[in-house]
Amino acid sequence: MKVALLQHTPEPERSIALAARLCYSQVDIEALKEKLSGADVKKFLDKIMSLGHQSVLEHASFTFGVDGISRVTSHQLVRHRVASFSQQSQRYVSHKERFAVVTPPTISENPEHARLFEAQVAALHAAYGALVEAGVPAEDARYLLPNATETKIIITMNARELLHFFAVRCCERAQWEIRAMAVEMLRQVRPIAPTVFAKAGPGCLAGPCPEGAMCCGKMAQVREFFGEM
C-alpha cells in the first residue's frame, strides 16, 4: 500500500481561522485577513476545537492518492459520503495480463492458507483471461474478480470529515487494511494542520471507548501510540 498526500488547501489552519473569525467580526474580509497573525490562528483554533464548532473545518480540504489497496477496503472507504473519490475502473482497465491482489497476513503467514488462496487467485485469473481472449468485454469478465483485487483511488476530504474518518477507521476494531491506510493519512496531515489534528485518532483518545462491550481492551496502548505519532 502506498499513501501520498497529493495536495491540500494552502495554509489550511489560516483558512479555517479566517472563516471562524469572520462569523464574529465587523471588519471586512481583506482587513481581517491582514490582521490575522500566526499566534491568533493557533489561539482561535484551540478555542474552536475545544468548543466543538467544527463546521468551519470544512473550508480546508486534503487530497490523497492511494495505490495497492484491495476492493475490500475501497468498498468500505466510499461509505464516507462527505468526500470525493476517483477509482481505477475495472470496466476500462483490463486485468488480462495479471491482476494483483492484497493477501491478508492471516493467510500469507500460514503456508497452507497461502497455497489455497494463491491457487484460487490463479484459477480466477486464468478464467478471466480466457473470457477476455474469447471476446468477452472486460466490464463483464470483471464479475469474476475477487474482493482481493488491488485498486488505486484518489480521495478528497475536508478536515471535518477527516476527523470523523480517523475516529472510526483508526480504531483497533476497524478492519486491518483500512486502519493502516487511515493511520498513514493521519501521519501525513498532522504536520500540515497540527492544531486541527492534534487529538485526531480513534474515539477512545478523548474519552471512554465508543465501542462499549466490543472494546479492544488496549486503550492505554492506543493512546500511547497516537500520542507519540
Q: Is the dihedral of CA 78, 81, 82, 85 positive or negative?
A: positive
| 90 labelled binding-site residue | yes
Q: Is 61 annotated as belonging to a binding site?
A: no
Query: How many Å apart are CA 77 and CA 177, to the nearest integer?
Result: 11
Catalytic residue numbers, as ranges: 169
Q: Is 21 annotated as a binding residue?
A: no
Q: How far apart are the first and last CA of the chain?
A: 19
> According to the annotation, is 53 in a ligand binding site?
no
**What's the residue count for the chain?**
229
Q: Extract the C-alpha cell encoding 149.
A: 483485487
Q: For residue 80, say whether it is annotated as part of any ligand binding site.
A: yes
Measured from the Cβ of residue 192, the count of other Cβ atoms closer than 10 Å reads: 17
Residue 78 annotated as binding? yes
User: Is 74 annotated in some ligand binding site?
Assistant: no
Would the annotation count 89 as a binding residue? yes
- Give burial (CB, 10 Å; 0-12/13-18/19+) of 201: buried
Q: Which residues are annotated as a binding site for dUMP?
A: 76-79, 87-91, 142, 169
Binding residues for FAD: 55, 79-81, 87, 158-160, 164
